[in-house]
Amino acid sequence: MSIKLVAIDIDGTLLNSQHEITPEVYQAIQDAKKAGVKIVIATGRPISGVKRILTELNLLDEGDYVITFNGGLVQETATGKDVFKEGLSYADYLELEYLARTLKLPMHASTKEAIFTANRNIGKYTLYESQLVDAPVFYRTPEEMADKDIIKVMLVDEAEKLDAAIPQIPTAITQRFTVAKSAPFYLEVTPKTVNKGEAIQQLSTLLGISIEQTMAIGDQENDRSMLEAAGVAVVMENGSPELKKIATHITKSNDESGVAHAIREWVLS
């Protein structure tokens, strides 16, 4: 079957290590869109962290869509209309905030508009995330979070600290939530029913596209669900070794325009 929808992760996939879209990737995406292929950015970032990329790639037309917050939000890019949204309850937030304190890890919660942390000394990776996704960050006590529309929570720290803490996360948490690393220093938590794979399936159904006619391109564990859901799973050469085990294809690295190679080799050829 020909591929009609391509879902592409951003960091470590679409962007090179200088956080740029290479000319080769840009042109391959334009050629795919001209050929009638739906190009869908699928990221853990909020919409504020994707707008520049959508503009640069000409993905703001009617009929264009974007998946953000690891599948917690699917929107029409031209109008900003929510097609699908599912977030965390205040009770969920309190449970995860307690977990973060127990594990001694900095944590922040993301809404469509901003990032909130209960860490009075705001962690460096929370500040990094704020700059990366162009979203303001605010200190708020847990009590002040009751009225916030939280879409995801992130535990953030040095890679070795996160890796040491992950085995200590209670089974009750991993059974109730989707917990996945999106970078060595990011551990993202969303509702159990929220992930990139579910978002791709819902979007492909909405568009009348068979899931077998979809391709996903990613590099980290938070991409696993969409790689498993898509008809064709493409993992970057710079991707996780464990993720490569489930790949249909392994493309070039993000510094070698691997997304362009994947589109030209397995979509446009």
Query: Is the distance from CB of 220 to CB of 239 less than 8 angstroms?
Result: yes
Active site residue 9: yes
In this structure, the number of other CB atoms found within 10 A of the CB of residue 155 comes to: 26
- Give first-to-last CA distance, the chain, whole Å: 12
Query: Is the distance from CB of 98 to CB of 172 less than 8 angstroms?
Result: no
Which ranges in the chain belong to alpha helices (H)?
23-34, 51-56, 90-103, 124-132, 159-165, 171-176, 196-207, 224-229, 241-244, 258-266
Q: How many angstroms separate the CA atoms of 70 and 47, rounded?
A: 11
Which of the residues are catalytic?
Answer: 9
